[in-house]
A and B are shown apart, each in its own frame.
Chain A
């Protein structure tokens, strides 16, 4: 998946007062769409999911030497893992049932079911959900819900692309740093590409991903995180420096 463009998107849509106009090619294993609130980041993901009413949209996936158009397909046929910004957990299911939602739709026979459960177990481990597996969404904190949201997206059978909207919002930083290497390992194993959305500079830099910078519904830059977010990086270092200076010395 890392070699060459794996997905491409062209979209024009009116989202409230915002005119979203973007044309993008995704080549990196992990792409971060970065921008301020209201810049159209989530709408971009929704356009890929087929959840946004667009004036024009063209969304395609590389398949062999050709391209498979996805924009004409219903959402459930696009082979996507999706974690929306609001966790949107199914309230009548336990944590485990939520995570297993996608895998338990069509397993035929005992072997297929067993295999599906193994994938669910692996996701429960990666996102540290074992202790919560019998709880209902009502009993979870924001960070816990978000981890279930992520785990559920990771177990979609046959998924080719993960779309994660503010995936680590509310997740404890220590836990995030612990989960991230295992997530990346899993993605590599399954040859899965990720497009995530964030407004957190630190997160964008941490992921070492390609960054698409979105402002006012338009793409203003695309490239390596350290280049696209150079200004923010300098500002962040200055802030950290200032904070360090303000710490009383010995």
Chain B
């Protein structure tokens, strides 16, 4: 069992989930707040990782971070090196790759909050931020849980993007899925199986949590 890879995977998934919730919440609120062409376009761009091969995404991110690009130069000036083949490079890749898994549930949750509740709150003197904080967020609690769990589970299982951006550096960028791949390459099927069971368990528990919570919320009545 590759425990350093397991630790790195959980650390990557946790960090990505936190960053994703911070990034996806305002983005989802903006997307849910209207119906113009710009919103639809951003929504399509956010959903791209759902259909693109992870290696394509990883390739462009790797090229984008290269020292010769504008982003690469800014990164070198700010953090001292391009993010490729580092933990934070993996975080950037994972955030982009898992963005739709956080944004889509949040957009659905925010859009499902009764419009009349938001309008009434607004006429009663609540500005847009207050309406969001006091009405939309509390009534979208399940969507936040869903976004967090899906983002976490998706990051735990990602392979192509992390391999392209991070390579296979033990203790730095070798995640559990890459370690499984290495084990299979070495015909170490028993070792691969032990690690794969971990991934299956983490993913299953995460999804079970979402469905269990979802059933409780549905059982406790309407959300307005």
Contacts and interface: CB of A to CB of B under 8 A. Distances in A.
Interface of A: 49-51, 74-76, 78-82, 84, 86, 88-92, 101-102, 105, 137-138, 152-153, 156-157, 163
B188 interface: no
B124 A102 contact: yes
7 closest A-B pairs by beta carbon, nearest first, are A91-B224, A82-B123, A102-B124, A75-B122, A88-B116, A88-B120, A92-B138
A90 B124 contact: no
Contacts of B135: 90
Q: Which of B114, B120, B122 has the most CB of A within 10 A?
A: B120
Interface of B: 114, 116-117, 119-127, 130, 134-135, 138-139, 221-224
B223 A91 contact: yes
Contact of A91 (B119, B124, B126, B222): B222
Contacts of B139: 91-92
A92 B123 CA distance: 19
A137 B224 CA distance: 10
Contacts of A101: 121, 124, 126, 134
B133 to A, nearest CB: 10
How would you classify the secondary structure of chain B's contact residues: helix, strand, loop or mixed? helix
A223 to B, nearest CB: 28
Given A105-B130, A138-B222, A88 B123 contact: no
Given A76-B127, A88-B119, 13 more contacts: A49-B119, A75-B122, A75-B123, A76-B122, A82-B123, A90-B134, A91-B222, A91-B223, A91-B224, A101-B134, A152-B124, A156-B124, A157-B125
Interface of A is mostly: loop
A88 B114 contact: yes
A79 B116 CA distance: 18
A76 B114 contact: no
Contact of B120 (A50, A79, A84, A91): A84
A76 B138 contact: no
A102 B138 contact: no
Contact of A78 (B123, B127, B223): B123
A90 B125 contact: no
Contacts of B224: 89-92, 137
Nearest to B135: A90
Nearest to A158: B125
Nearest to A136: B221
Contacts of B117: 88, 90-91
Contacts of A89: 224
B126 A105 contact: yes
A56 B121 CA distance: 24
Q: Which of B116, B121, B123 has the most CB of A within 10 A?
A: B123
Contacts of B130: 105
B88 to A, nearest CB: 37
